[in-house]
Structure 1
Amino acid sequence: MILFSLIFTFICITSLTFNLFLFYVTYKLNDKNYGREMRATRMSVVDFWKNETKGDGLNVRVAHGVNSWPDLVDQLHEPFLNKSMMIEGDVFMQAHRRPRHRAVPVMKADTKIADRITFKEWLREVATMHKAIKINFRSNEVVRPVLQDLYANQADPSSPILQYPVILHANVFRSPRSIENEVDPTTFVEKAKDLFPDATLSLGWTKQSNFSHLHPKFKKLSWRQLFHILEYISRLEQPVMLSVRLSVAAHSKEQLLWLLGMDQSISLLLWSDSDDHVTNWTPIIELRRSTTKNRILYDLDPKHRKILQTESNDPLVSTQTFSLQDWQAVEFSSSGSQLSTVVRSEKGPAFLGEPTALLLSKIPPPKFPSEQKISGKVHFLPKKGVENLDLDENSGVSIYLMDKVQDIDSPKIKDSLEVFIGYDGKIKITNSESKSVSYYETKSIGQLPNSDCYGFEVTDLGWRVTLDAWTTECGDQKSRKRRKVSIELDTPFQKNRNLRNVVVSKKGDSAVDFLLEELRHSSAFSICRTPLFFAVVSTLFLMIYLF
């Protein structure tokens, strides 16, 4: 009996140990981070080169098209003074005439070279060179197998450790007069996020023919194009780099500064060739001086590099138009597939898609008799193809003044005071709280001329709210005659003597996005704290004393 019990106990312990072992192995195999936590780095190239470039991205040196064995040998024996900091390779799928041969990723070397190097071989060699690695994806077919090779490399203890930043680059946006097919951005971004989230993602535009003959309107990054880019990068946690042509950057300073001001790791790579003809270098110089110098990397034609080296790179003091610390983003789920959110930047927030996101001011409301002001400039951007459609007349920006922000449980706010600026110039102040008080008006309405951009200032006095709104130019548009309209509405006084909390939201449908190029919520202001108040009080006391 005792022997039977010992044998039974031994079998139970052995079975339990085996099951625990199987559970551990299964967990590790299913864990996407297994084998990578000690072997990969999520350091962006910007941080990696911070010391080696002395904090200036103009000092970066790139080895282009290292796609063959002779090119790799040259990298091993390159002169110290001309030593590159990044190795760049182009990968595509090797086509076979015989169907039984499986296609494999290979490097795009010269056609005269018979023995092409596979991507696995190339990665094994460059991983030992202690440099940043840039992998250029040249087709949709190559995305998944290359990322699987990278994933396997990090999980294989016998593979060289990728201790240095890896940049995954693809031309995902189609350019006018394109001579190559773009890589599908959704496939590229999603696969990279799943299989190799430790890399820096680099997005660019397809190659063009006769770039110098293009119409100037195609040589700039519009706000609409920028919003399209945000659809792919705004949700990413890994570093992102945007590869922009020098001539395009010269006409897109405001858009690029907005991107660099986002509250995530964004950098730029400005490149050029002999087809780039920059007549006005001021925007490029201001870009270079307005940001941390290593946030922009330069891969330039020698003549363009020489021009920038002779210009001053002293930092410019830029005025902050939006405080990331003073505004909190609150997002609600959306039923649609398109991106619906608010994207914050130091240059102002952008509201995209369905009205499912809010901005809450963290500045506490002052007590009466103080007043508070909310000011800004809104730039409306209807989506492409909807200009001639009947848009929702309620599409615009809403500023809610409400007693308790803790009660917000959906993007549709009720029972509050609303200040509205519509894309069609309609402005109004609505107070749903005053319905219970018959001697208060519930609404005040005004109309501005049609414009893409409007400036506004809302003043909350506690017992009255005023709105001043006016037409203004957008970016580099020609200045137009300014038209201003003011409306006001008396409101019931708050019982706790506090003014209202400030919430900014999008209203209407997804057809009209907008950018708040400026958004400020003033600190508390009280007449009792002003020099004029003290002067008046002092004069009264002096008159009483003398008489």
Structure 2
Amino acid sequence: MATSASIPGSWSENILEYFLRNNLIATEDGALITWYHAANCKAHLDEALKSPAHMIEADVLLPSDGSEHVQPIMAHPPETSSDLTLQEWLGAVLQSNKGIKLDFKSLAAVQPSMMLLENVKPQLKRPVWINADVLPGPDGTSRAVAAKPFIDTVTSFFPDVTFSLGWTTGWHPEKVNDGYSWTMVKEMEHICGELSQPVTFPVRAALVRQSSAQLLWLLSKSNRYSLTVWTGKNDDYSVEDLLYIRDHFDKRQVFYDILEPQNHEFKQAIGIKVNL
């Protein structure tokens, strides 16, 4: 019996297969997938929908205003207010063919958000990724979201959704920054090895090169696994670091959510045309 993960046009369809089937990429290569990051207000969402980006990422939280019927909104801490609710955000994105990535910083917003997603499940018909940092990582100072209740809540609504499960991280320009340790990747495999759905691991670009042995080991544990390489606004890393990742990892298993100008330079270096 086919699962929804293998059905074309379902919210759990493989991201590369979906965009390839819709003639939006030419081959199964994670570097071809483009991202719009932090579409957390009406103006940015409108810009994202008009952009060439394949995937729209946004942050969901529950405002703590004491209201009994509070709705999930689109905002990234320390912001706690927004001109955009998740319900409005979904209504707009579902008019497009773009994929969805929702990022959660706390458990409180997860269940009400899954209820809203369930209400539009028949209209999803595009990749949906659900993200949280569930483990402490290199120099991470923010609080991780508890892995088990997060995963259990999401899977109670969407049993084969693609998870994006990461580590809290920090980066400091004035010191040597440690990468992802063996303890960190083994703890993540302990969590994800019991799952059956696809999992992508968001990893900080400036920390990947020194962690390549650990991350290659993690990806080797399952063909369900991938990496999503992301960057902090003030991180110091080079296009050569991105090319190192490109050369040492399977191109079907690595996605790049990279800020400019490195994104443009990286895509040029590997011969991918960038639509600005």
- Into which bin does the TM-score normalised by the smaller protein fall? 0.7 to 0.9
Structure 2 CA distance for partners of 1:310 and 1:115, relative to 1, 3 Å: closer
- Over residues 46-76 of structure 1, what are the superposed CA-to-partner deviations in whole Å (9 max), with x where a residue is unaligned? 3334463333322322111212222333334
Q: Is the 8 A contact 1:150 1:196 kept in 2?
A: no
Matching of residue 94 in structure 1 with residue 94 in structure 2: no
- In 2, Cα distance between equivalents of 1:136 and 1:303: 24
State the partner residue of 2:41.
68
**Structure 1 or 2: larger helix share?**
2
- In 1, Cα distance between equivalents of 2:235 and 2:78: 28
Structure 2 CA distance for partners of 1:176 and 1:293, relative to 1, 3 Å: closer
**Alignment length (residue pairs):** 263
Q: Secondary structure at the match of 1:84?
A: coil
Once the 2 structures are TM-superposed, how far is the Cα of residue 236 of structure 1 from its aligned partner? Answer: 1.1
Structure 2 CA distance for partners of 1:299 and 1:287, relative to 1, 3 Å: same
Task: Determine which structure has more spread, i.e. the larger CA radius of gyration.
Answer: 1
- In 1, Cα distance between equivalents of 2:34 and 2:270: 20
Residue among 246, 249, 257 paired with 1:288: 246
- In 2, Cα distance between equivalents of 1:280 and 1:59: 16
Q: Is the 8 A contact 1:66 1:87 kept in 2?
A: yes
Matching of residue 53 in structure 1 with residue 25 in structure 2: yes
Matching of residue 252 in structure 1 with residue 214 in structure 2: no
With normalisation by structure 2, the TM-score equals 0.82
Q: Is the 8 A contact 2:75 2:81 kept in 1?
A: no
Structure 2 CA distance for partners of 1:305 and 1:116, relative to 1, 3 Å: closer
State the partner residue of 2:157.
195
Which structure is higher in RCO with an 8 Å CA cutoff and minimum separation 6? 2
Q: Is the 8 A contact 2:63 2:80 kept in 1?
A: no
- In 1, Cα distance between equivalents of 2:169 and 2:218: 23
Spell out the pairing of 1:182-221 with structure 2 (5 A cutoff): 182-206=144-168, 208=170, 211-216=172-177, 219-221=178-180
**Structure 1 or 2: larger strand share?**
1
State the partner residue of 1:166.
128
Matching of residue 265 in structure 1 with residue 224 in structure 2: yes
Percent identity over paired residues: 26
Once the 2 structures are TM-superposed, how far is the Cα of residue 250 of structure 1 from its aligned partner? Answer: 0.8
State the partner residue of 1:301.
259
CA RMSD after TM alignment: 3.1
- Over residues 333-378 of structure 1, what are the superposed CA-to-partner deviations in whole Å (9 max), with x where a residue is unaligned? xxxxxxxxxxxxxxxxxxxxxxxxxxxxxxxxxxxxxxxxxxxxxx
One-letter amino acid of the counterpart of residue 52, structure 1: L
- In 1, Cα distance between equivalents of 2:71 and 2:126: 25
State the partner residue of 2:70.
103
State the partner residue of 1:18.
none
Q: Is the 8 A contact 2:74 2:82 kept in 1?
A: no
Q: Secondary structure at the match of 1:213?
A: coil
Consecutive aligned runs of 4 or more in structure 1 exceeding 4 Å deviation:
109-115, 310-313
- In 2, Cα distance between equivalents of 1:174 and 1:202: 15
Q: Secondary structure at the match of 2:64?
A: coil
One-letter amino acid of the counterpart of residue 236, structure 1: L
